[in-house]
Copies of this chain bind each other. A is one copy, B any other.
Amino acid sequence: MEQSAVSVDTVALRFWAGDDTVTLGVAPREWEPFRGRLALPGVLLGRGEQLVAAARRALTTKLGVPDEAIGAVGQLATFDEPNRDPRGPTLSIAMWAVVDEFAPAGQTATQWCSIGNPAKLAFDHNRILAEVRPLLSETLWRRTDFTRVLTGKRFAASRAVELTAALSGAAPDPGNLNRTLKAVPGLVRTEERVRVKATGRPAVVWEWSPDQ
Protein backbone atom coordinates (compact mmCIF):
# COMPACT_ATOMS: atom_id res chain seq x y z
CA MET A 1 0.00 0.00 0.00
CA GLU A 2 1.24 3.44 -0.83
CA GLN A 3 1.96 5.46 2.25
CA SER A 4 2.37 9.02 3.40
CA ALA A 5 5.93 10.26 3.53
CA VAL A 6 7.46 10.60 7.00
CA SER A 7 9.54 13.63 7.83
CA VAL A 8 11.40 14.23 11.06
CA ASP A 9 11.38 17.91 12.01
CA THR A 10 13.64 18.96 14.81
CA VAL A 11 13.48 21.76 17.31
CA ALA A 12 17.20 22.45 17.76
CA LEU A 13 17.94 24.53 20.85
CA ARG A 14 21.14 26.25 21.90
CA PHE A 15 22.04 28.30 24.95
CA TRP A 16 25.71 29.04 24.67
CA ALA A 17 27.91 31.05 27.01
CA GLY A 18 27.51 34.20 24.89
CA ASP A 19 23.76 33.77 24.31
CA ASP A 20 21.44 35.69 26.57
CA THR A 21 18.45 33.54 25.67
CA VAL A 22 17.61 30.14 24.23
CA THR A 23 17.54 30.15 20.47
CA LEU A 24 16.16 27.85 17.85
CA GLY A 25 18.07 26.78 14.74
CA VAL A 26 16.29 27.43 11.45
CA ALA A 27 17.57 27.56 7.88
CA PRO A 28 16.17 28.80 4.57
CA ARG A 29 14.84 26.02 2.40
CA GLU A 30 16.99 25.20 -0.61
CA TRP A 31 14.21 23.83 -2.79
CA GLU A 32 10.56 24.27 -3.51
CA PRO A 33 8.14 24.30 -1.88
CA PHE A 34 8.80 27.35 0.28
CA ARG A 35 12.21 27.87 -1.33
CA GLY A 36 14.09 30.57 0.57
CA ARG A 37 11.64 30.54 3.50
CA LEU A 38 12.98 29.70 6.93
CA ALA A 39 12.04 26.27 8.29
CA LEU A 40 12.82 23.82 11.04
CA PRO A 41 15.55 21.40 9.99
CA GLY A 42 13.75 18.36 8.67
CA VAL A 43 14.61 15.28 6.65
CA LEU A 44 12.66 12.40 5.24
CA LEU A 45 13.05 9.38 7.46
CA GLY A 46 15.23 6.79 5.72
CA ARG A 47 14.34 3.12 5.54
CA GLY A 48 15.29 1.49 8.82
CA GLU A 49 16.53 4.78 10.21
CA GLN A 50 15.73 5.52 13.82
CA LEU A 51 14.11 8.79 14.79
CA VAL A 52 17.11 10.01 16.76
CA ALA A 53 19.41 9.29 13.81
CA ALA A 54 17.15 11.21 11.46
CA ALA A 55 17.04 14.18 13.82
CA ARG A 56 20.84 14.25 13.97
CA ARG A 57 21.01 14.06 10.21
CA ALA A 58 18.65 17.00 9.93
CA LEU A 59 20.93 19.07 12.14
CA THR A 60 24.12 18.20 10.28
CA THR A 61 22.75 18.59 6.77
CA LYS A 62 20.34 21.49 7.21
CA LEU A 63 21.97 23.55 9.94
CA GLY A 64 25.62 22.58 9.50
CA VAL A 65 25.91 21.42 13.10
CA PRO A 66 28.79 18.92 13.48
CA ASP A 67 27.62 15.60 14.84
CA GLU A 68 29.80 15.88 17.99
CA ALA A 69 27.98 19.10 18.89
CA ILE A 70 24.58 17.38 19.12
CA GLY A 71 24.27 16.81 22.81
CA ALA A 72 20.92 15.14 23.36
CA VAL A 73 17.88 14.24 21.28
CA GLY A 74 14.34 13.18 22.15
CA GLN A 75 10.85 12.57 20.81
CA LEU A 76 7.99 15.07 21.02
CA ALA A 77 4.80 14.36 19.02
CA THR A 78 3.46 13.44 15.60
CA PHE A 79 1.54 15.77 13.28
CA ASP A 80 -0.70 14.25 10.63
CA GLU A 81 -2.55 17.11 8.94
CA PRO A 82 -2.74 15.72 5.37
CA ASN A 83 -2.29 19.10 3.65
CA ARG A 84 0.64 20.29 5.70
CA ASP A 85 3.01 19.70 2.76
CA PRO A 86 1.97 20.81 -0.75
CA ARG A 87 3.97 17.94 -2.28
CA GLY A 88 1.56 15.45 -0.81
CA PRO A 89 0.58 13.83 2.46
CA THR A 90 3.46 13.88 4.89
CA LEU A 91 3.57 12.84 8.50
CA SER A 92 5.81 15.00 10.65
CA ILE A 93 7.40 13.53 13.74
CA ALA A 94 8.66 16.39 15.88
CA MET A 95 11.87 15.85 17.85
CA TRP A 96 13.95 18.06 20.13
CA ALA A 97 17.74 18.36 20.13
CA VAL A 98 20.21 20.40 22.16
CA VAL A 99 23.27 21.80 20.40
CA ASP A 100 26.61 22.22 22.15
CA GLU A 101 28.94 25.06 21.32
CA PHE A 102 30.86 24.63 18.06
CA ALA A 103 32.83 26.73 15.58
CA PRO A 104 30.80 27.11 12.36
CA ALA A 105 32.69 25.84 9.33
CA GLY A 106 32.52 28.59 6.72
CA GLN A 107 29.40 30.51 5.77
CA THR A 108 25.99 29.10 6.51
CA ALA A 109 22.56 30.59 6.09
CA THR A 110 21.51 29.11 9.43
CA GLN A 111 19.79 31.54 11.75
CA TRP A 112 19.18 31.25 15.46
CA CYS A 113 15.94 32.91 16.47
CA SER A 114 14.16 33.24 19.79
CA ILE A 115 11.75 30.42 20.63
CA GLY A 116 9.39 32.82 22.35
CA ASN A 117 9.05 34.94 19.25
CA PRO A 118 10.16 32.80 16.30
CA ALA A 119 10.44 33.92 12.69
CA LYS A 120 7.60 33.10 10.30
CA LEU A 121 8.39 29.57 9.15
CA ALA A 122 7.45 27.35 6.23
CA PHE A 123 4.84 24.56 6.36
CA ASP A 124 3.02 24.30 9.68
CA HIS A 125 6.25 24.74 11.59
CA ASN A 126 4.98 27.64 13.65
CA ARG A 127 2.05 25.52 14.75
CA ILE A 128 4.39 22.66 15.66
CA LEU A 129 6.49 25.06 17.71
CA ALA A 130 3.46 26.38 19.54
CA GLU A 131 2.28 22.89 20.47
CA VAL A 132 5.70 21.67 21.43
CA ARG A 133 6.93 24.56 23.53
CA PRO A 134 5.04 23.68 26.71
CA LEU A 135 6.47 20.17 26.49
CA LEU A 136 10.00 21.57 26.40
CA SER A 137 9.26 23.86 29.31
CA GLU A 138 8.07 20.92 31.39
CA THR A 139 11.17 18.93 30.51
CA LEU A 140 13.58 21.52 31.88
CA TRP A 141 15.06 20.59 35.31
CA ARG A 142 13.27 17.24 35.07
CA ARG A 143 15.08 15.36 32.33
CA THR A 144 18.76 15.49 33.11
CA ASP A 145 20.02 14.77 29.58
CA PHE A 146 18.06 17.68 28.14
CA THR A 147 18.95 20.15 30.86
CA ARG A 148 22.58 19.10 31.33
CA VAL A 149 23.48 19.92 27.72
CA LEU A 150 21.61 23.22 27.72
CA THR A 151 23.35 24.53 30.81
CA GLY A 152 26.80 23.09 30.21
CA LYS A 153 28.82 21.52 33.01
CA ARG A 154 29.03 24.66 35.17
CA PHE A 155 26.68 27.61 35.20
CA ALA A 156 25.75 30.60 37.31
CA ALA A 157 22.38 30.72 39.02
CA SER A 158 21.38 33.76 37.00
CA ARG A 159 21.90 31.73 33.83
CA ALA A 160 19.39 29.24 35.18
CA VAL A 161 16.93 32.10 35.56
CA GLU A 162 17.44 33.19 31.96
CA LEU A 163 17.10 29.63 30.72
CA THR A 164 13.87 29.02 32.59
CA ALA A 165 12.45 32.34 31.46
CA ALA A 166 13.26 31.56 27.84
CA LEU A 167 11.54 28.16 27.86
CA SER A 168 8.55 28.98 30.05
CA GLY A 169 7.90 32.42 28.64
CA ALA A 170 7.87 34.16 32.01
CA ALA A 171 10.56 35.08 34.50
CA PRO A 172 10.62 32.56 37.35
CA ASP A 173 10.90 33.53 41.01
CA PRO A 174 14.66 33.40 41.61
CA GLY A 175 14.24 32.06 45.11
CA ASN A 176 11.97 29.24 44.08
CA LEU A 177 14.23 28.36 41.18
CA ASN A 178 17.10 28.12 43.62
CA ARG A 179 15.24 25.47 45.57
CA THR A 180 14.33 23.70 42.33
CA LEU A 181 18.03 23.45 41.50
CA LYS A 182 18.78 22.07 44.95
CA ALA A 183 16.40 19.20 44.22
CA VAL A 184 17.77 18.29 40.79
CA PRO A 185 19.66 14.99 41.06
CA GLY A 186 23.30 15.21 39.98
CA LEU A 187 23.44 18.97 40.40
CA VAL A 188 25.66 20.34 43.18
CA ARG A 189 26.15 23.84 44.48
CA THR A 190 29.76 25.01 44.60
CA GLU A 191 31.28 27.59 46.96
CA GLU A 192 32.28 29.68 43.98
CA ARG A 193 30.60 32.95 42.97
CA VAL A 194 30.72 34.74 39.64
CA ARG A 195 29.75 38.17 38.48
CA VAL A 196 27.23 37.98 35.66
CA LYS A 197 25.43 41.32 35.61
CA ALA A 198 27.08 44.75 35.86
CA THR A 199 25.85 45.40 39.35
CA GLY A 200 24.41 43.44 42.22
CA ARG A 201 25.49 40.40 44.14
CA PRO A 202 27.48 37.76 42.23
CA ALA A 203 25.78 34.44 41.58
CA VAL A 204 26.54 30.98 42.94
CA VAL A 205 28.06 28.51 40.49
CA TRP A 206 26.26 25.18 40.09
CA GLU A 207 27.96 22.12 38.68
CA TRP A 208 26.82 18.76 37.35
CA SER A 209 28.52 15.89 39.13
CA PRO A 210 30.87 13.98 36.79
CA ASP A 211 28.73 10.87 36.35
CA GLN A 212 25.84 12.80 34.85
Contacts and interface: CB of A to CB of B under 8 A. Distances in A.
Interface of A: 1-6, 44-51, 75, 77-78, 80-82, 88-89, 91, 93
A82 B50 contact: yes
Nearest to A54: B80
Contact of A89 (B1, B48, B88, B93): B48
Contacts of A89: 47-49
B80 A47 contact: no
B46 A3 contact: yes
A48 B88 contact: yes
A96 to B, nearest CB: 14
A44 to B, nearest CB: 5
A3 B44 contact: yes
Contacts of A88: 47-48
Given A48-B88, A75-B78, A88-B48, A4 B4 contact: no
A94 to B, nearest CB: 10
Contact of A91 (B2, B5, B44, B45): B45
B51 A78 contact: yes
25 contacts: A1-B46, A2-B47, A3-B3, A3-B5, A3-B6, A3-B44, A3-B46, A3-B47, A4-B6, A4-B45, A4-B46, A4-B48, A4-B49, A6-B6, A6-B91, A48-B82, A48-B89, A49-B89, A50-B80, A50-B81, A50-B82, A51-B78, A51-B80, A75-B78, A78-B93
Nearest to A53: B80
Question: Most chain-B Cβ atoms within 10 A of its Cβ — which of A4, A46, A82?
Answer: A4
A3 B80 contact: no
